[in-house]
Structures are given as C-alpha cells and as structure tokens.
Structure 1
C-alpha cells in the first residue's frame, strides 16, 4: 500500500520547479523572439505550453492530494479538539488547513493545464 503522506523526492520537486520557471521565462521571451527570429518563437511557444501543461498538472495533483488528506482525515476537526495545543498553534494550523480546503487553486491549475493542452493540440492539428 502506498504511503499517502509520502513527500516526493527533492530532486523531483526541483525538476517541477525548473519546468515551471522555464515555461515562465519562455513565455516572456516570445515577444522578443517573434520580432527578431519568428521561427524560433514557434518552438519556444510550444515548449512553454508543454511545460505549462506538465507543471500545472503536477500542481493540480499535489493540491488535490492535500485537500483530500485534510478532508478524509478530518484534520480541521481533529486540531480543533486536540488537547495540549496553545491557541496560536491551533488557530494557525486551522487557518492553513481551511485555506487548503477552500482555495480555488485546483480550478486555476486545471484551467491553465487544459488551456495549455488545447493550445498545443490546436497548434499541431489545426
């Protein structure tokens, strides 16, 4: 059985970080490349969209996993009822957990991921 609380290896987390950063840099290079060397802009755009797809799919999976763990294990309720926690620790932890459950980040990540994939598919097949 997989450990639902296992954190990805640091090298993999860093890889996704660099994929996201590379996509962000690529998107910002597009205007310059389009003006000075348009053929390169096409490849940089495709790289950026593919990288955005990968990065935001990763963020979606991680966000969904966090939300599921908070809800399934009733972490908010358990922290509220926990003995021996000072009020600041309790309030801070509940704030963090509630923000994970209420956040609209999953919608944002899925939206960007899907739009990036659609853009790539349209580029290759339209």
Structure 2
C-alpha cells in the first residue's frame, strides 16, 4: 500500500513548477508571437495547453491527497481538541486545515485542466 503521507522528491516538485512556469510564459507570449510568426504561435499555444494539463493535473492530485488526509483522519476536530497545543498554534493549524477542506482549488485545477484538454481536442479536430 502506498504511503499517503509520502512527499514527492524535490526534483519532481521542481519539475512540475518549471512546467507550470513554462506554460505561463508561453501563454503570455502568444500575442506578440502571433504577430511575428503565427505558425509558431500555434505550436506555442499547443505546448502551453499541454503543459497546463500536466501542471494542473498534478496540482489536482496533490490537492485531493491533502483534502483526503485532512478528512480521513478527522484532523480538524483532533487538532481542535488537542490539549497539548497552545491556543494560537491550535487556532492556526485548524485554520490551515479548514482552508484545505473548504478551498475551491480542486474545482479550479480540474476546470483549467479540462478546458485545456477540450481546447487541444478541438484544435486537433479543427485541423
């Protein structure tokens, strides 16, 4: 069974960071590139959408794992009742855990990933 608390190696985390940054730079360069070289702009756009699929898919997986760990182990209640923690530490930790559970980041990641896939599929069938 896979360890639910395992953190990916630092190089993998950095790889996904660079994929996300490259996609972000690609998207932001499209307007200028489209004026200079429209054919290249199409390939940069495809690269950006594919990279977004990878990056936001990864963020979705990480976010889901965090959400499941917090809910599966009932961490909000357990930390809230922990006597050995000082009140500020307990309050801060509960805040962080609640923000993980209540955040709409999972929807955001799934939405961006899905739209990127749809855009790539439409582009594929349009040509």
TM over 0.5: yes
Gaps of 5+ in 1: none
Gaps of 5+ in 2: none
Say if 2:37 is the partner of 1:37: yes
Alignment of 1:76-91 (within 5 A): 76-91=76-91
What is the aligned length? 126
The answer for the alignment partner of 1:103 in structure 2 is 103
The answer for the alignment partner of 1:15 in structure 2 is 15
Shift of 1:80: 1.1
Map Cα deviations across residues 72-123 of structure 1 (whole Å, 9 max, x no partner): 0000011011121001100000000000000000000000000000000110
Aligned partner of residue 84 in structure 1, secondary structure: coil
The answer for the alignment partner of 1:116 in structure 2 is 116
Runs of 4+ displaced beyond 2 Å: none
Q: Partners of 1:3 and 1:73 in 2: how far apart?
A: 14
The answer for the alignment partner of 1:66 in structure 2 is 66
Q: Partners of 2:82 and 2:28 in 1: how far apart?
A: 48
Map Cα deviations across residues 2-35 of structure 1 (whole Å, 9 max, x no partner): 1100000000000000000000000011001100
